[in-house]
Structure 1
């Protein structure tokens, strides 16, 4: 019987090919694994999609680098229901289900948390992108699915290119919810801030910067990362976002940009499998392990 399974995707279990990206994944998972083992827990790293593993044989399944779930979403959803019955998930099942769908931004807004202005377009909507922009009075925007990862099907729209994306939008909106946000100028001017939280405690932060000519800050698209010291207002906003969750997540990454009014605003609250940059603050991995260890002491 294991105490903790660190959940990853099959590409990162025993990768034959190595690059900086994969090396970082191995380091991140390794820091968490070591911190848990140092507290006397029996730990193993397994792909969530590993059909050979009996999930009743671990007390906790900890989501870390399950970054292929978006491409296998139906399979992942079915697995999630099944595994939630067999073991304890961290973060918990209800939190994961809530956080997988970006409609959670409306929930945060309803609780008084400043989020990036967002308009949701629901399945089967017959309007064109041009019509929706005219109704909202918006010009430069970003369109993406309400359930997505790693900027999949994410487009920056302008009055000049909106018609180029109508066919793709019509295909996507037939089956899924989409979200439209005014393009936040600070994303290209300054970048996006990620604040890491263990429970309700801020641990460290990074600034993600898109490569020249792009607006996507993910390293998949050439983005870079720098250490960052957040303002008190940014820390307070991250704490407010975590406090607005129905149950306090054991870990969270809070992504913040300056909105077009110049105020810090939540762009994403990542509670499922966020990159946490533990390699930039190993103490945060130890704090996460300590919080998990407390579960075994109750």
Structure 2
């Protein structure tokens, strides 16, 4: 007999934090909005770290990935855990979606389906070309280098002719162990920001605008970026919905990060389907929409 309907997954640092700063408070509020929304629908819910060593994962009908923001710090451990629990419970989003979305090669699949993405050069593990070689081949002057499996701007570097040589050593270390990606630096992200569009079960709910702090190019609040309410255009909403529908299956939740590229076109920065921040605190009703989708999915699984 399964004890829980859903386990809401978090990072071990935020499961039972001893100190509360503004960042941690936001995490707790976000997770609480989701837990409470499911509770209102009669679901039995608990919140745990994905790495909890004692929990019996077969005792829950499903797990919901929310603030598991440490999984990329020890990806082999996370991958092994994913293999184990996917055999005994259901994953939201699904196991196949998560595995596809963790690696940013998924951008190539979306591009093939007509989604406009940022220009991207994928660099496979073991590539021997230097940063200078890559920039000569592409003709790009200013670029951003980052891993294909990452989060929170881990090992994300802005490159230019003056600092490429300085980054060659770290690049050689990274590419020897993992695939990387190189993209032209997008100036509009700095000047105008990046828009995050939240889509639940194919339905757009709300959007926020992320802006980098002065002198930086990273919009994440980890690096001092700011968040603002945003009213998207019909074109931007349709772009987000079309992007989600281009997946092989419709995800229960998605964050579609878009921006205006160097040519002035709406482009996809990333499609976040694993553990995106969804800013429920800016639009609490969206938590109930997600909860309703989860309950409907659980009923389908019970049939």
TM-score (norm 1): 0.99
Question: In structure 2, which of residues 104, 119, 128 is the aligned counterpart of residue 102 of structure 1?
Answer: 104
**Alignment partner, residue 122 of structure 2:** 120
How do 1:138-177 residues align onto structure 2 when only pairs under 5 Å count?
Answer: 138-177=140-179
| Correspondence for 2:285 among 280, 283, 286 | 283
- Counterpart-to-counterpart distance in 1, 2:166 and 2:243: 36
Query: Is 1:294 aligned with 2:296?
Result: yes
Instruction: Identify the match of residue 91 of structure 2 among 85, 89, 92.
Output: 89
TM-score in terms of structure 2 length: 0.97
SS of the aligned residue for 2:277 comes to: coil
Matched residue, 1:32:
34
Helix, strand or coil at the partner of 2:87? helix
Name the count of aligned residue pairs: 298
Unaligned runs of 5+ in 2: none
Q: Distance in 2 between matches of 1:125 and 1:111?
A: 27
For structure 1, which runs of at least 5 residues remain unmatched after alignment?
none
Q: How large is the Cα RMSD of the aligned pairs?
A: 0.7
Question: Hey, what's the Cα distance between the residues in 2 that align with 1:115 and 1:234?
Answer: 14
> After the TM superposition, which residues 14-93 of structure 1 pair with which residues of structure 2 at under 5 Å, given as runs?
14-93=16-95
Q: Deviations over 1:192-251 (max 9, x none)?
A: 000000011110000000000000000000000000011112111111110110010000
Q: Distance in 2 between matches of 1:293 and 1:253?
A: 20
C-alpha separation in 1, matches of 2:91 and 2:298: 14
Deviation at 1:297, TM superposition (A): 2.9
Match of 1:248 among 250, 253, 256: 250
Task: Determine helix, strand or coil for the equivalent of 2:54.
Answer: coil
C-alpha distance in 2 between matches for 1:10 and 1:269: 25
In structure 2, what is the Cα distance between the partners aligned to 1:105 and 1:273?
Answer: 17
CA distances 1:34-53 after superposition (whole Å, capped 9, x unpaired): 00000111000010000100
Query: Displacement of 1:17 after TM fit?
Result: 0.4
Residue 211 (structure 1) aligns with: 213
Per the TM alignment, residue 31 of structure 1 is displaced from its structure 2 partner at its CA by 0.3
Matches within 5 A, 1:231-246: 231-246=233-248
Superimposed CA distance per residue, residues 30-86 of structure 1 (whole angstroms, 9 cap, x where no aligned partner)? 000000000111000010000100000000100000001010111100000111011
- The reply on whether 1:200 has 2:202 as its aligned counterpart is yes
Task: Describe the SS at the equivalent of 2:218.
Answer: coil
Give, in whole Å, the separation in 2 of the partners of 1:2 and 1:174: 42
Cα deviations by residue, 1:122-148 (Å, 9 ceiling, x for unpaired):
111111001110011110000000110
Q: CA deviation at 1:92?
A: 0.2
